[in-house]
Structures are given as C-alpha cells and as structure tokens.
Chain A
Amino acid sequence: MSTPDESRVAPPSGPAHGVPTSPPAGDPRDADGLVARLQRGDDAAFETLVRMHGPRMLAVARRYLPQDADAQDALQDAFVNVARAIGGFEGASRLETWLHRIVVNAALMKLRARSRRPEVSVDEEALARIERSRGPSGWSSTADEALSRRELEEIVRDEVARLPDDYRAVLVLRDVEGLGVDEIAALLDVGAAAAKMRLQHARRMLRAALGARLTPSEAP
C-alpha cells in the first residue's frame, strides 16, 4: 500500500491548481477545519473532501492512466489511503499537496501492478530510421503554421496517452510534475540510468509519433 509520504511529488504550480488557500473558518473549504473533521471521522467531511478534491485528483490520475476505469480505480485507492492516513496528517504540507501525492502514488502503484511484464522493447532501428529520415522541414513548422496552440496540445496529449505506461509515466513525472531524474528513479524504484533511458525513449517515441501525425504525407 502506498503511503502519502513516499514521494516528493507536489502539485505543479499554476492556476489549474489554485484551490482557495485561506477560506474563512467554518467555510466547508477551510482546509484546517476539514482536516479536523476528517480526523474526527465526520461523515459529512468525507463527502466534502470527495466533492472538493475528487475532480482534480481524477484529472491527475488520468495523466498516468488514460483509461477511465483505471483512473477511477486509482482514485478509489487514493481516497481509501486518505481515510486510513488522515489521522496522521499533521499539516506539514498543504492538504492539496498531500492529496496530490496520494493520488500520484496510487496511479503509480496501479501502473506498477500492471507492469509485471517485460518492459516494452523499443524498436531502436525504427526510431533511428525515423530520426534519420526527417529533414529540417519536420513537424515543428506544421505545428507553428497550421495548428493553433490548443490543437497541438490536444494532439500531443493524445499521443502521450498512446505511449506505453512506463514511458507515459516518466514524461508526466518529468514534464508535468517537474521531478528530476533521481526523484523519478526513486519513485519508480529503478536506477537513475534506467529512468534516464526511459525518458529518452519516451521522448523519441513521442517525437516519432508526432512526426507521423503532423508531417504532411508526400504526394505519390
């Protein structure tokens, strides 16, 4: 069972994570009051917590687990872990940060449980061939000229979702959570060299996939 303090994952900064920081005491969003009620086993507090933080936690889980059923499973595991661990929550981190760690750990645990199979082998030759074949007029110009930023973001997100689990996870941990290679290695329980290699393979696979999708096909 993952526990909340196993990682240093914290919600990336930015407006998307802007849960109000200091609502008045008595307000259901008051984090300190909510924690106290949760620790007392107040039934209504569980529901408030789920309603307030569940949607964001599910979105975090989906970054790692694009299939909705998997993300929902991770969310369930996360809230069960919250219920078990809330008694020990001392406020050393913000409630939102603590919840973020828990759901990331739950998602990673689910990925780990699914990954009891040999790691996806990377077709080095195919990747290298694609990288060699692409000239200076690659897809970045297409992205700049033919797509809005939002369209590009949607395509990139879609292609990341298609990556093998292990590769998607390292990209999320690095590019979204902002963790360093050593932190990623510790979270995934692999060596730093393996984490670095996964990152490089993930980036190459993503670039190749984007190239296939965004590079105009040549006329016959």
Chain B
Amino acid sequence: MHCRDALPLVLAGLDAPLDAARQRDLDAHLLVCADCVEALREHVLAREAFRDASLATAPEPPLPEAVVRDLVARMRAARAAPPAGGARSA
C-alpha cells in the first residue's frame, strides 16, 4: 500500500470503523511508514484537543443585562404570537 492510498483510510478510520481487510492493509502500512503514523497521530491529537477545548469546564460568564432583557422581550413577543403551524413536542 502507498501513502496516497493509506491516508484516505487513516481519515476514514477516524469517523467509522474500516472493514477488516482495509484495516489489516492499513495496519500493515503503518508498521512501516512513519509519515502515515505521524498523520494519524496529528489527526487524533487535533480531534482530542478540539473536543477537550470545546467541552472545557470553565463556567460561562452571565449574559449582559441588556442581552437578557432583549431575549426575554423576544420570547414574550413570540409567545404572544405563535406561528400558524404550531409547535411540536419534544
């Protein structure tokens, strides 16, 4: 397997399991190709860092008062004039 064939599999494998034959071929390539191992490592690192950054535990700052007032006013207005189609349940 060449790198040009392996890299799409590296990417595909991040989002869905590869079938057994493709996974076997990719594993064999990764044993001998440092470049593709690095590619896999970078993709995984980026994915994990992005997820962790997005789910950071720092508390969100409160909304500014003006924003709160504006949102509440919009909700009241929307509640007073519901759309013709109605709303569906959760």
A-B pairs with beta carbons under 8 Å apart, 29 shown: A3-B87, A3-B88, A14-B57, A15-B57, A46-B76, A49-B75, A50-B68, A50-B71, A54-B67, A56-B60, A75-B71, A79-B74, A83-B74, A85-B88, A87-B82, A88-B88, A92-B90, A93-B90, A131-B39, A136-B34, A136-B37, A138-B38, A156-B46, A156-B50, A174-B15, A176-B55, A200-B8, A207-B42, A210-B46
Give CA–CA (A11, B56) in the complex, Å: 13
Interface range on chain B (Cβ under 8 Å from partner): 35 or more
Q: Are A153 and B56 in contact (CB under 8 A)?
A: yes
Q: Which residues of B contact A207 (CB under 8 A)?
A: 39, 42-43, 46
Contact with A along B25-57 (1 / 0, CB 8 A): 000000000110111011101110111111111
Q: Are B55 and A16 in contact (CB under 8 A)?
A: yes
Please pick, from A54, A98, A143, A180, the residue contacting B90 in the complex, using a CB distance under 8 A. Answer: A98
Q: Which residues of A contact B54 (CB under 8 A)?
A: 63, 157, 172, 175-176
The A-B contact count (CB < 8 A) is 174
Q: Which residues of A contact B14 (CB under 8 A)?
A: 203
Name the residue on B nearest A82 (C-beta): B75
Q: Which residues of A contact B1 (CB under 8 A)?
A: none
Besides A152-B45, A199-B11, 19 new A-B residue pairs in contact (Cβ under 8 A), listed by A number: A46-B72, A55-B61, A56-B60, A63-B54, A76-B74, A86-B79, A88-B88, A88-B90, A89-B90, A91-B90, A98-B90, A132-B3, A134-B35, A136-B35, A140-B42, A154-B53, A172-B54, A203-B46, A211-B42
Name the residue on A nearest B70 (C-beta): A76
Q: Which 8 A-B pairs have the closest CB atoms?
A: A55-B60, A136-B34, A85-B87, A153-B53, A83-B75, A83-B78, A88-B89, A156-B49
Name the residue on B nearest A50 (C-beta): B71
Give CA–CA (A175, B49) in the complex, Å: 10
Give CA–CA (A106, B62) in the complex, Å: 21
Q: Are B72 and A47 in contact (CB under 8 A)?
A: yes
Interface status of A41 (Cβ within 8 A of chain B) = yes
State the majority secondary structure of interface residues on A: helix
Give CA–CA (A171, B16) in the complex, Å: 14
Q: Which residues of B contact A134 (CB under 8 A)?
A: 35, 38-39
On chain A, the number of residues with a Cβ less than 8 Å from chain B's Cβ atoms is 75
Please pick, from B12, B51, B79, the residue contacting A196 in the complex, using a CB distance under 8 A. Answer: B12
Q: Are A135 and B35 in contact (CB under 8 A)?
A: yes
Q: Which residues of B contact A140 (CB under 8 A)?
A: 38, 41-42, 45
Interface status of A139 (Cβ within 8 A of chain B) = yes
Q: Which residues of B contact A155 (CB under 8 A)?
A: 49
Give CA–CA (A16, B59) in the complex, Å: 8
> How far, in Å, is A3 (CB) from chain B's closest CB?
5
Q: Which residues of A contact B57 (CB under 8 A)?
A: 14-16
Name the residue on B nearest A14 (C-beta): B55
Q: Which residues of B contact A160 (CB under 8 A)?
A: 50
